[in-house]
C-alpha cells in the first residue's frame, strides 16, 4: 500500500507548488510526514513559524512513492520513534506546535518563551561576569543579585518547565509548597529553577547534556544523584 506519485503531484500543482529547484524554500516548505524523517522538535516549530507557507504531506500505511520526496519535499519529519498508520495525527501535532508560535495566537507574545523547550531569557549583558544582575520580573529591581537566576526554566535552553499549582492550597492532604506563598520572589525563582531541574532529571535526563547549567545547578543536580558524563 504505497501512494502513487501522480495524485500527489496533481494536488501540489493545484497549490502552485513546483519542484524543489524552482521554489523559494526560504518562504515556503513542503514536508512529508514519515517514520523515517528527522525528529520534530520545538526548534523545528520555531523555524516553520517564520515561513509564509507550510504544506504537510501525510503518508498512509507504507507511505508514498520515494520520488515525491525527491522532487517536492524539502524535508521529512517524524513526531517520534514509533509508527502510525498515517501521518494525519503527526500533521496535527506539527500544526498546533507551530501555529501557537505565531504572533497573536497566545495571550502574550512571550508566553511561548517561558515554558518547556522555550527560548527563555537571553543571557544578561553585564560589564563583567561578576557584575550585578537586576531582577525585574517581580518588581524587585532595586535589589542587585550577584548571579542571574532565570525567570523561568528555559533561560538554560530547553530543560523542562517547573511544576505549576492552583487552588486549593491543600488537595487530599498534599499542600502547595510553602515557598510559593511566602512572598519571597527570589526564593520562589530559586525553587522553580530547582524544581525544573529535578523534573528534567526524572523525566528527560538527556536534556541536561546540552543545557546551559550554572555551578549552582550542577551542585543541586549532584545532590540529587546526577552524574554528568565526562567531557
Q: Which three cell numbers stand for residue 150?
A: 532565570
pLDDT in the model for residue 157: 53
Omega into 86 within 30° of 0, i.e. cis? no
- Mean of per-residue pLDDT scores for the chain: 84
pLDDT in the model for residue 148: 46
37-64: buried (b, 16+ CB within 10 Å) or exposed (e) per residue? beebebebbbebbeeeebbbbbbeeebb
pLDDT in the model for residue 101: 94
pLDDT in the model for residue 108: 74
Supply the pTM of this predicted model. Answer: 0.76
CA distance 7 to 19: 15
Class of the CATH-defined domain 5-99: alpha beta
pLDDT in the model for residue 53: 97
pLDDT in the model for residue 228: 87
pLDDT in the model for residue 125: 40
Closest of 159, 170, 153, 142 to residue 211, by C-alpha: 159
pLDDT in the model for residue 110: 65
pLDDT-flagged residues of the chain (< 70): 109-115, 117-158
Closest of 77, 72, 73, 70 to residue 43, by C-alpha: 77
CATH of 122-223, one of 3.30.1330.10, 3.30.1510.10, 1.10.1270.20, 1.10.150.120: 1.10.1270.20
Instruction: Indicate the domain borders of the chain.
Output: 5-99, 122-223
Contact criterion met (CB below 8 Å) for 208 and 194: no
pLDDT in the model for residue 209: 94
Question: Residues for the chain: how many in total?
Answer: 231
pLDDT in the model for residue 107: 77
pLDDT in the model for residue 132: 34
Amino acid at each position: 500500500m504505497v501512494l502513487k506519485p501522480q495524485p500527489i503531484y496533481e494536488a501540489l500543482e493545484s497549490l502552485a507548488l513546483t519542484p524543489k529547484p524552482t521554489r523559494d524554500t526560504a518562504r515556503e516548505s513542503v514536508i512529508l510526514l514519515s517514520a523515517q524523517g528527522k525528529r520534530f522538535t520545538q526548534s523545528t516549530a520555531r523555524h516553520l513559524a517564520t515561513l509564509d507557507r507550510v504544506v504537510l504531506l501525510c503518508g498512509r500505511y507504507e507511505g508514498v512513492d520515494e520520488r515525491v520526496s525527491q522532487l517536492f519535499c524539502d524535508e521529512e519529519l517524524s513526531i517520534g520513534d514509533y509508527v502510525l498508520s498515517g501521518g494525519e495525527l503527526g500533521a496535527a501535532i506539527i500544526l498546533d506546535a507551530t501555529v501557537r508560535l505565531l504572533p497573536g495566537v497566545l495571550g502574550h507574545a512571550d508566553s511561548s518563551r517561558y515554558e518547556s523547550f522555550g527560548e527563555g531569557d537571553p543571557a544578561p549583558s553585564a560589564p563583567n561576569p561578576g557584575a550585578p544582575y537586576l531582577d525585574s520580573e517581580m518588581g524587585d529591581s532595586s535589589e542587585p543579585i550577584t548571579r542571574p537566576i532565570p525567570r523561568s526554566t528555559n533561560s538554560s535552553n530547553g530543560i523542562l518547565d517547573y511544576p505549576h499549582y492552583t487552588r486549593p492550597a491543600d488537595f487530599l492532604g498534599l499542600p502547595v509548597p510553602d515557598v510559593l506563598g511566602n512572598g519571597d520572589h527570589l526564593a520562589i525563582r530559586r525553587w522553580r529553577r530547582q524544581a525544573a531541574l529535578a523534573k528534567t532529571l526524572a523525566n528527560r535526563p538527556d536534556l541536561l547534556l546540552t543545557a546551559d547549567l550554572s555551578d549552582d545547578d550542577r551542585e543541586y543536580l549532584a545532590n540529587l544523584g546526577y552524574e554528568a558524563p565526562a567531557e
